[in-house]
Chains A and B, each alone.
Chain A
Amino acid sequence: MTREEIIEKVNTFLIEEIEIDENDLKGDALLTKDLGIDSLDFVDIVVIVERTFGFKIKPEEMKEVKTLDQFYDYIGSKVN
């Protein structure tokens, strides 16, 4: 899966299901501070990622994932 495809899928669910403003989806945006993703949102993101990309996020693997770019990279590392 190309990075562009991953970005499109992730942004689509962040906009449609987590209801984050499209204008806030910048690569260097911090997931918690800038996008307002809290621990309960993350529970739902785990479910959506499993449904969309077919793998289960492991919380320990997310420790170093702070920005949206890093999140795209993390997804890419799991699906490719």
Chain B
Amino acid sequence: MGIYSCLGKNKEEVLQSLKEGRSGIGIDPKRIEYGYRSPLTGIVEKPQLKGLLDRKLRMYLAEEGEYAYMSTKEAIADAGIDEQYFENNEVGILFGNDSSAEAVIHSHEVAKEKKDTTLIGSSAIFQSMNSTVTMNLSTIFKLRGVNMTISAACASGSHAIGIGTLLIRNGLQDMIICGGAQETNYLSMGSFDGISAFSTRTDDPARASRPFDKNRDGLVPSGGAATLIIEDYDHAVARGAGIYAEIAGYGFSSNGGNISQPSDEGCYRAILKAMTEAEVTPKDIDYVNAHATSTPQGDFFEAMALAKLFAEPKTLITSTKSMTGHECWMAGASEIVYSTLMMQHSFVAPNINFEEGDEYSRLLNITPVTVKKEINTYLSNSFGFGGTNSALVIKSLK
């Protein structure tokens, strides 16, 4: 696994932040100048790739691709493989990503000013496509297996892992680099801010993202990248790999309705599919990493779905978005990294800022503080615009 987010630039830093319940949210002054309703965002440090990568491998990476390079580099080392391995084995890549705005906007600005597209430069095309992350990483690491990007709004990263799992289960690949990436530049989120989806609690950024809390007022956009090396079990054992966990169930569904309105029924079906495939019941789930983004409607409907399953067994539930903000296209992958770190170190990271529940969230066992807890099985939810839902059930190998 590898992670590069507003909680830290690697697994060790992120683990510490999760344990401490540290928020990665801050203010981006450029957003104020640009006319954002809310300048709140996850603060992600730009990686310095000069010296790590040659110009020709570096310049086609968009912002989210740079993050993904960092998280993937960490994941590859963690998995005990190197570039030589990719030469001798067919390894694939599937990432969740659903925008790459900065290069598109810069291209437009140059063409508008110069009236000449040949002055845009060579990098914009490779930075501006949704598949920018997978096209670049497959080139950098010289991958020879499946190579594509999954675009499914805020469930992209989760679906990428789910689809990767299906390819492996069907014997089509032995190993796939899966993940999610999300840009954080001010050019990428203006239209999202424009529909008043973001929290305006700017007086105290660390308290702005408050999933499930009665006084939540919107999400806080964030970003970075997360990478997981998923692999056929026998293949991993045969090469002596360290194994974090098993992807035991992947459930998906579509709400079949409104483009932005969430649905408890759609969430519920995806969760149920994942649990059925994993052969678990609610009492077998030790922890739920909720999608909950801190929007009034989204959290309400997810809490309604979760209450049907997890109110009675009092399953521990948190949304790590309380600390990270909403990592959007990346979230479904990063939250598997966060939850697997919790599984590895036997704790549940807090749902910070949860002070008072609403009609459904008060029925749930949501912890605002870190809890020591052995996790053998967890559920991770991801939902997105257009009614796309993804749920993953992960089991430890204990």
**Hey, what's the 0/1 contact readout for A21-54 against B, CB within 8 Å counting as 1?**
0000000000000000000110110110010000
CA distance A52 to B122 in the complex (A): 17
Pick from B54, B116, B122: contact of A44, CB under 8 Å? B122
- Nearest residue (CB) in A for B126 is A40
Chain A min CB distance to B58 (Å): 9
B256 interface contact, C-beta 8 A: no
Contact B55 A19 (CB under 8 A): yes
A56 interface contact, C-beta 8 A: yes
B119 interface contact, C-beta 8 A: yes
Which residues in window 77-128 of B have CB below 8 A to A? 116, 118-123
A40 to chain B: which residues have CB within 8 Å? 56, 122
Find the residue from B54, B56, B123 having the highest chain A CB count within 10 A: B56
A43 to chain B: which residues have CB within 8 Å? 118, 121-122
CA distance A15 to B55 in the complex (A): 11
CA distance A47 to B122 in the complex (A): 9
Pick from A19, A41, A56: contact of B122, CB under 8 Å? A41
A18 interface contact, C-beta 8 A: yes
Chain A min CB distance to B265 (Å): 49
A46 to chain B: which residues have CB within 8 Å? 118-119
**Hey, what's the 0/1 contact readout for B37-80 against A, CB within 8 Å counting as 1?**
00000000000000000111000000000000000000000000
- Contacts known (A18-B55, A19-B55); A44 close to B119, Cβ less than 8 A: no
Chain B min CB distance to A78 (Å): 16
CA distance A18 to B54 in the complex (A): 10
- Nearest residue (CB) in B for A36 is B56
B56 to chain A: which residues have CB within 8 Å? 40
Chain B min CB distance to A36 (Å): 9
Chain B min CB distance to A12 (Å): 15
**Hey, what's the 0/1 contact readout for B320-362 against A, CB within 8 Å counting as 1?**
0000000000000000000000000000000000000000000
Contact A47 B119 (CB under 8 A): yes
Chain B min CB distance to A57 (Å): 9
Give the secondary structure class of A's interface.
helix
Contact B55 A47 (CB under 8 A): no
- Contacts known (A19-B54, A19-B55); A50 close to B122, Cβ less than 8 A: no
Chain B min CB distance to A55 (Å): 12
- Nearest residue (CB) in B for A39 is B122
Contact B119 A56 (CB under 8 A): yes
CA distance A78 to B195 in the complex (A): 51
B122 to chain A: which residues have CB within 8 Å? 40-41, 43-44
B123 to chain A: which residues have CB within 8 Å? 44
CA distance A47 to B161 in the complex (A): 40
Chain A min CB distance to B322 (Å): 42
- Nearest residue (CB) in B for A48 is B121
Chain A min CB distance to B112 (Å): 15
- Nearest residue (CB) in A for B54 is A19
Chain B min CB distance to A22 (Å): 15
- Nearest residue (CB) in B for A43 is B122
Chain A min CB distance to B53 (Å): 11
- Nearest residue (CB) in A for B121 is A47
A18 to chain B: which residues have CB within 8 Å? 55
Contact A56 B116 (CB under 8 A): yes
CA distance A19 to B55 in the complex (A): 7
A47 to chain B: which residues have CB within 8 Å? 119-121
CA distance A44 to B55 in the complex (A): 12
A19 to chain B: which residues have CB within 8 Å? 54-55
CA distance A65 to B81 in the complex (A): 45
CA distance A50 to B116 in the complex (A): 12
CA distance A41 to B120 in the complex (A): 13
- Nearest residue (CB) in B for A40 is B122
Other contacts beyond A47-B120, A56-B116: 8, CB < 8 A = A40-B122, A41-B122, A43-B121, A43-B122, A44-B121, A46-B119, A47-B119, A56-B119
A-B contact pairs, 21 of them (CB 8 A): A18-B55, A19-B54, A19-B55, A40-B56, A40-B122, A41-B122, A43-B118, A43-B121, A43-B122, A44-B121, A44-B122, A44-B123, A46-B118, A46-B119, A47-B119, A47-B120, A47-B121, A50-B119, A56-B116, A56-B118, A56-B119
A residues near B (Cβ < 8 Å) are 18-19, 40-41, 43-44, 46-47, 50, 56
Q: Which 10 residue pairs spanning A and B have beta carbons closest together?
A: A43-B122, A40-B122, A19-B55, A47-B121, A44-B122, A44-B121, A47-B119, A50-B119, A46-B118, A43-B121
